[in-house]
Chain A
Amino acid sequence: MPSAAANLARLTHAPGVVLIYESGTIGAKPDVLPLSIGDGELAEHADTVVSIPEIFRYWLQGGRVDVGFLGAAQVDRFGNINTTVIGDYAHPKVRLPGAGGAPEIASNAKQTWIIIKQTKRSFVPKLDFMTSVGHLEGGDSRARSGARGAGPTAVITDLGVLTPDPVTRELTLTAIHPGITVEQAKAATGWELKVAPTLAATAPPTAAELATLRELHARTARAHGTPGATE
């Protein structure tokens, strides 16, 4: 999903965007969406391909990433995320893939955007495991923790967009997709969801954006029989 979103941006309003994948591809311009973050398609059209230590040291920890895109199995009200286990760590109910690049993306990118399906199972009052930092315990706790960057500035779900309150840093529903109600969003949240007094409606995609996205997915399906995915 982040890969599709970033490439749609590149193909529409942001032709100059520099896409960086943690496999070491900088300035990737894939013609089809990669099935994994290390597909040859990403290397083929990249400005440069660097080693794994270099991508994480010079480019990420060096502070050169403006926006980090993250997915998650669970997110809490402060945008902290879990991609490690459901249940107890030593005896997990479900063993998830783990951290990957997320902990350092979360604490070194200038800001992060989280993309996740909003349900009571994913929007939890308490994470089973804290893999990567968001706004920690809210307020100025992130700033005091040593994490750099602004942290999650948007959590984009299938129901709407949540952004952190400027003071408490609690995720607040600030925009809702057409056809979705506030009640639906509240029912899909495991805590008492804060809702902005003036709720924006997400702008529907333009015909050009939709056409570009559909072409991208069609090319991808022809190339490897799937709409494409990341990690």
Chain B
Amino acid sequence: MLLLRLWNYIRGYVIILVEGYFLEKFVNICVHRQIFLWDIKRSKNSALTLKASIKGFKAIRPVARKTKCRVRIIKKKGVPFFLNRYRRRKAFIVGPFLFILLLYAMTSFIWSVEVTGNKEIGYDLLIETLARNGIKPGVLKFGIDTDRVVNNMILEIDKLSWVSVTIKGTKAKVQVAERTVAPELVPKNVPCDIIAKRDGVITSVIVKDGYEMVKAGDTVVKGQVLISGRVPIKNETEKVRYVHSIGSVTARTWYEKSSQVNMKRVQKVKTGRTKDHISLILFTKRIKLFSGEIDFADYEKVEIRKRLSLGEDLVLPFEIVIDRFYENNVMEEELDIEEAKKLSADSALSEVMRDIPPDAKILKTYANYVKDKNNGLVAKVTVECLEEIGLKKEIGGE
């Protein structure tokens, strides 16, 4: 029954009032002429209301004339009437089409490029190379030949071994794999020494080829020859044999850095007052929407970016950027000695770490503190490391 009702609603029907004296006759004739009527109700003595389909209603007219009944429409119901009502409102019809069209148009461009898998190759270089090959935000995605891009990428960037470009929604996903560079061959025919990279105390010397010049426990200075490529020949004093020396020399090394900290510290405390500058990035243009004057004496700026996207892959070319300014209160504060020590030691340590090569092993860390005259504290941090200090140097190459 629900289905029938729904069907009638889709087809459209009218509720009509029939007035006259021979209503039974009217109904009988309608039935005879295969006009489907339903929900016939007696409303008054000489009138009844009934429902009929649009097609049925057209056929009812002659029947009414024949039986001398008056027919009046009370209500029109159903989809056809509903559509008819909105026929004149063009925007109603144009709107949805425009929406679909716009959405389609917007999503047929690439709005973001995502690169994954690179370790040594710079992100900027990859993006730049992709842009040169036609993958950049704002490009029509239908014109992109991913195979060609992949080939060009591999040709242009030497270190790449594999590239995959997939376009998903409005996002270009680029996955790369880097080539592992083949190890350098040892040029055995070029004679060389191994010299010290830096000062230190030798802990071990392993010589594979060449003449050992130092032994464990020796103190060496930078540039000193550790393993010589000139190997003296037995029983001969003048002549030497030139070799390409190979070996490993590890030494204890020291790194030192000092850092000064003022006992009076300037501290910035957020007051809680903030101001926002809102701007919209449409495609690649930045439009400032709302910006007021910043009258804070001291402030910090934080940029918040929000990208409009449908799901993860369908990124739309709208971006809202909120520049939030936090007001700061500048306060001066006396540091206590422990805190000052820690602070200066930390900064000195982080400085010294920059000098230490990554393959060095840190053995010990010492820190000394000295108060200087203008109310500061100097921390001197010494780091003891164990590292490979050998460096190859060609003989006579200079």
**A and B co-occur in one complex:** no
